[in-house]
Amino acid sequence: MWQPVYKSLALIVVLAAVTLVFLHLASRKIYPMEFGLSFNQKHAAALGLDWRQVYTAMLDDLQPKYVRIAAMWSEVEKTQSVFDFRDVDFMMDEAGKRGVKVLLVVGQKAPRWPECHVPDWLDTASLEAKTYLQGYRAETVNRYQTHSALELWQVENEPFIRFRFGECRSYRPEYLSDEISLVRSLDQEHRIMVTDSGELSTWHRAISAGDLFGTTMYRIVRTPSGKIFTYDWLPAAYYRLKARIYRRPLAEVYISELQAEPWFTHNNPLTASLAEQERTMNPERFVQHLEYARRTGFPRAYLWGVEWWYFMRENYGESRYWDLAREQIAAARAGGESTDYGF
């Protein structure tokens, strides 16, 4: 009675092995890719850095063409109906002075811990919660939609991820459709990106929710218990295949977060030893991650970790990450625009 089951399992294993071999073969080609940078002022400050100094050094020394920043709700509306956009204004204006284009994140969720950035005064269970959310969003869109630095909006950050990473008990995913509709109604000139996890999601809801789709790309992580797990076995063409399955043109898929810093679980850069940090990020792996991203066929990737590179340079005298980023960004820019090459 078990023979048909064993045959089915054997067939599944064979098909999986064949698919994996095919994807590895499809991952050999390197495609043109441009690199932007993802930056968060609260994270830089938490590392004991002057975040404005980090941000301007990033713009002037690394010279990215694209940056990704957030108008975190908890920061711009700390007091109900009192908006303070000075930090976002600074980042937008400094980018604009240098001709750098900004992907601006708005919503309950934004990059970096605690993931959900909802102001303390908000009662998320109240009937007015959605109204307050839309009010913050409208203020933000109306303020920046004509800014010369604005290129794209990102509405929420990984809104469909099933597990609640971070402090996100109050997150209301059912608002997403109306959030996107509001941004689109206020600003018809700029496209909207929706993001999802590259490794922990099927993308089936997120990939068609916006004008562009953004995937994260983490190659080495730690489990909640602190054990290291790598995705080094996963071919780059896996991401391309997922986009093809959903019939999303590769030109409309960006890597919203390309891991270029260590993964922390029970500690952080201030408490972990250099040796411990280098277990999940070192210069060799840094370069490997960028090369891996180039094999996806996607046109752009925002590197995740610029605050840490600066921290390493200032606190350990370790400038290799900063220097590598500068070299890689310059080389990518010299290579020209990326194109969709098909599968």
Distances (CA, A) of 110 to 137, 149, 194, 228: 13, 19, 12, 25
- The predicted model scores a pTM of 0.93
pLDDT at 10 over 80: no
**Average pLDDT over the chain, rounded to whole?**
92
> Two tokens at 138?
């409208």
Fold of 34-334: TIM Barrel (3.20.20)
What's residue 339's pLDDT? Answer: 37
Residue 340, pLDDT > 50, answer: no
Which tens digits make up the pLDDT trace of 243-297?
Answer: 999 999 999 999 999 999 999 998 999 999 999 999 999 999 999 999 999 999 9
For residue 106, pLDDT over 50 is answered with yes
Residue 196: C-alpha distances to residues 30, 99, 232 (Å): 24, 28, 20
Query: Quick one: average pLDDT of 161-180?
Result: 82
Q: Rounded CA gap, 31 and 260, in Å?
A: 19
The pLDDT value recorded for residue 166 is 72
- Given this model, what pLDDT does residue 31 score? 96
Instruction: Please tell me what DSSP assigns to residue 170.
Output: T
Predicted local confidence at residue 264, as pLDDT: 95
Helical axes 283-294 vs 320-334, angle rounded to 10°: 20
pLDDT number for residue 9: 63
Question: Residue 311: pLDDT band by 50, 70, 90 thresholds?
Answer: very high
- Chain-centre distance of CA 197, in angstroms? 9
Q: What is the pLDDT of residue 24?
A: 78
- The stretch 45-72 carries a mean pLDDT of 98
The residues spanned by each domain of the chain are 34-334
DSSP bridge pairs for 37: 67, 303
Q: Is the pLDDT of residue 133 over 70?
A: yes
